[in-house]
Structure formats: C-alpha cells, structure tokens
A and B are shown apart, each in its own frame.
Chain A
Amino acid sequence: DSGVTQTPKHLITATGQRVTLRCSPRSGDLSVYWYQQSLDQGLQFLIQYYNGEERAKGNILERFSAQQFPDLHSELNLSSLELGDSALYFCASSVEDRNTEAFFGQGTRLTVV
C-alpha cells in the first residue's frame, strides 16, 4: 500500500457524460500528479499540483480539468466523455515539487460506453 488513495476504483459511464476522480495523497505529501494510461498510449502525464497551485501541465485535454484543495486532496474532472477516454487514471504524490520518490495510487479504471 503506497498510502495514496484513489476513488472510485472502477467507473463505467456513457459518452457525453462528466465524471470526477478523487485522489488523497500520502500524509505529508504536497505534490499531486495525474497520469492517464491507455493500451495504445502508455503512461501519459496530465497535470501536477503543488500545495494547491498548478505546477506543470502535460498533454491534458481542454475537456479535462483538475484542482487541489486546501486539505491537499485532488480531483480530476473529465467532461464530454468519449470512447477514447477509457483508460486507467493514476494519481501519484510526493513530498517535494519534483517526481523524486513519487508514489502511485491504485488507479481508477474508467470505461466509457
């Protein structure tokens, strides 16, 4: 157990819908990272927050957004869902503003039908 908690573990939804994925980082970690892993794309960095502020952005679609709250948990919002958004979404956390020793949660498997 990495100490990073993601909910829900599985999510099935229809195209066009909106979902919210939640991540609670390890105690004491200030950075949260979101990744998308699909079969044809591998693990892709989406976005990073550090202590409530957006720190870095990867190939995140405009339909996707995220935020980190004062208690440091983070949410990833996915809207106007398409079939191609079906993937595993991982959250990772680290103490510092860098990926050193980042720990991954178990992921949320999103299926868009």
Chain B
Amino acid sequence: EPEVTQTPSHQVTQMGQEVILRCVPISNHLYFYWYRQILGQKVEFLVSFYNNEISEKSEIFDDQFSVERPDGSNFTLKIRSTKLEDSAMYFCASSRDRGFYEQYFGPGTRLTVT
C-alpha cells in the first residue's frame, strides 16, 4: 500500500539555522499538508498546498516558513531561521482531494532546535 514518507526522521539544528524537511506524498494525490506537534500539545495545522500554491495556512505559518514542491514527487517545508520554539514533530500528509477525503500521514520528522 502506498505510504507518505518523510526524511530525516530526526534533525538537530542550532537556533538561527535554516532547515528543510522533506516529504514524498502518495503519487496520485493532489493536496499536501504540513502539521506539527509540540511535545505534550495538540497536533496543529500549518499549511495546505494545491496546484503549486498555498491554499490554506494557519497563523503559525509566518514568513519564517515556506513550502515548495520542487519536482513531481517531493514536498518540502523550510524554516528560514529556527527558534527554540520550533522544536516539534512535523507531519506531512497528502490526500486525493480535499474535505471528506482521507489525509494520509507520514511518520514525522522530529526537529530539535538547540
């Protein structure tokens, strides 16, 4: 069964550094998402992406964040200048369509900012 994959599984970076988290969504899916979960808190929506542009974003997704689909398979989340509070588990997801369609989640990337 097709799965969403994410790399790396764990990334450690220093405050102020740029990080890129990578995801390979399921190949025939059209919608792509990033969520994050700070330790002990709820899973929070960051952004959704469709037709090569952001279709919805949360207030968390400020100018420090960007997303890109650089080729036909990868979907990336870039954090330009990491802060301590960006430490979290980041989940990528994809779906065939929006709304009632199932979002398929990746295993997550644990980002630790020191």
Question: Do they bind each other?
Answer: no
Chain B contacts to A: CB under 8 angstroms: none
